[in-house]
Amino acid sequence: MKTMPQQGRLEVITGCMFSGKTEELIRRLERVRIARKKIVLFKPTIDNRYSERAIVTHYGREFAAHLLPPGEESLPELERIVSKDAIVAATVIAFDEGNFFSNKLPQLCEDLVARGKRVIVAGLDLTFAGEPFGPMPALMALADEVDKLHAVCVKCGGEATRSQRLIDGKPAPASDAVIKVGGTEFYEARCRSCYERG
C-alpha cells in the first residue's frame, strides 16, 4: 500500500503576555517527542530572558531551541543553523516569540508547509500599545489553526487579552519602543476594560 506524503499545516498560538503561549507550544512539542518524531525549534536572538539555548515559560518549563536572527528567516538560514538533514528529517518546525521576527517569517512558514512540515508559531498578537504585532496578523490569516489564549486580568480577575507595559507603575506611552523584552517587571495582563493606553 502506498503511503501518502505528510500533509503540511500551520498552527498559530497567540494571545497576550502570561496567557500560556510558550507553555502550550512546549505541550505540543512534548507530544511530538513522545511519538518519537523529530522537532526543530527556533527562537529569536533577542529573546534572552531566561536562557540562550532554550525557550522557557514564566514558570520554568523549558525546551531546547536554536537562535534565529530576526530578518534572516529563510530556508537556507535554517539549514545553516541546524543542517539541511535536520530540516528534512523534522516532522515539526516551530518558532517561539513569532512577534519578534520580521515579515519574512510568514513566507518561510508557507515554504515549510509546502514541504510537508507541521509548523507551529507562538507569539503575541498585540503590542503593548494595542497594535497588531509584527508578522503575527499575516501568520494568523495563513494558519490552518489559530488558538488565541487568555490570561487573568491583574486588576479585575477577568479574561485578559492585552499586555500592559508599565513604567514606574504607570502605562508606558504608546510612542515607547515596541520591543522591550521582559516579564512581570515591565508587564501586566489586563482585560480590555482595565487596559490603559499610555
Tell me the catalytic residues: 97
The whole-angstrom separation of Cα 153 and Cα 192 is 9
Number of CB atoms found within 10 A of residue 80's CB: 11
Number of CB atoms found within 10 A of residue 175's CB: 7
Query: Which residue spans within the chain are E strands per DSSP?
Result: 9-15, 39-44, 54-56, 62-64, 66-68, 92-95, 118-124, 145-149, 151-152, 159-160, 162-167, 170-171, 187-190
The whole-angstrom separation of Cα 7 and Cα 5 is 6
